[in-house]
């Protein structure tokens, strides 16, 4: 372990904010896996998730001077990732709208439901879950991801999303019900 890797998040952020590129590399090393997992769950596509992951760390690098060192680093990066995912989702909706406006002989938008060929091995449930999460409406997806996958309490997720803890609890419950409905519908059609 190098001396930088032994530093706390606060210490490493102070060094990174002072333009220590190696310190920022430690931040990336520590947080790239959980941030990528969050993004992947949100949008459901590896290649786009990698692109967004890069955008998250560019934004973090640019925002280090404004980062409150008294707050935990992981949730701050998750908030940046959440905002990047929201931006991405808006762009996807605009692209879909434009594609739908093409003439009728234009190619169709591919269906996001997995085919039987895609669901062959033990990863079938994970594949179905990732696709179902990606299709959830934003108001259900975000509370689910923050509480179930990121370990935020209902209160913490509520602060991030501007909702009450009770609202987060209800939306998480509805998200789980919708996931179950989608997965059941897909598996019934296989």
pLDDT band at 94 (very low <50, low <70, confident <90, very high): low
Q: Is the CB of residue 17 less than 8 Å from the CB of residue 65?
A: yes
Angle of helix 46-63 relative to helix 21-43, nearest 10 degrees, comes to 140
pLDDT band at 103 (very low <50, low <70, confident <90, very high): very low
In the prediction, which pLDDT does 109 show?
Answer: 36
Proportion of the chain above pLDDT 70, given as a percent: 77
Q: Is the CB of residue 175 less than 8 Å from the CB of residue 136?
A: yes
Angle of helix 73-100 relative to helix 21-43, nearest 10 degrees, comes to 50
pLDDT digits (tens, 9 = 90+) for 10-46: 999 999 999 898 999 999 999 999 999 999 999 888 8
Instruction: Write down the mean pLDDT value for the chain.
Output: 81
Q: Is the CB of residue 9 less than 8 Å from the CB of residue 72?
A: yes
Q: Where are the alpha helices (DSSP H) in 18-164?
A: 21-43, 46-63, 73-100, 124-135, 138-144, 154-161
Proportion of the chain above pLDDT 90, given as a percent: 52
Under DSSP, the state recorded for 4 is G
What is each CA distance from 2 to 8, 22, 63, in whole angstroms?
A: 13, 11, 25
- Put residue 162 in one of left, alpha, beta given phi > 0 → left and psi -120 to 50 → alpha: left
pLDDT digits (tens, 9 = 90+) for 127-165: 777 788 888 999 999 999 999 888 899 999 999 999 999
Who has greater pLDDT, 93 or 33?
33
Q: Does 122 have pLDDT greater than 60?
A: no
């Amino acid at each position: 372990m190098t001396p930088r890797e032994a530093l706390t998040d606060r210490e490493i952020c102070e060094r990174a904010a002072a333009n220590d590129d190696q310190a920022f590399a430690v931040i990336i090393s520590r947080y790239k896996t959980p941030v990528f997992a969050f993004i992947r769950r949100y949008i459901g596509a590896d290649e786009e998730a990698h692109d967004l992951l890069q955008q998250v760390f560019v934004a973090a690098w640019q925002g280090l001077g404004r980062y409150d060192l008294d707050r935990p680093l992981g949730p701050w990066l998750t908030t940046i990732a959440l905002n990047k995912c929201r931006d991405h989702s808006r762009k996807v909706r605009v692209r879909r709208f434009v594609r739908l406006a093409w003439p009728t002989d234009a190619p169709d938008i591919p269906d996001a439901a997995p085919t039987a060929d895609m669901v062959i091995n033990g990863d079938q449930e994970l594949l179905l879950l990732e696709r179902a999460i990606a299709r959830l409406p934003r108001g259900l997806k975000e509370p689910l991801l923050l509480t179930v996958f990121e370990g935020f309490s209902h209160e913490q997720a509520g602060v991030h999303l501007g909702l009450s803890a009770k609202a987060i609890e209800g939306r998480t419950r509805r998200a789980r019900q919708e996931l179950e409905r989608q997965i059941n519908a897909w598996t019934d059609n296989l």
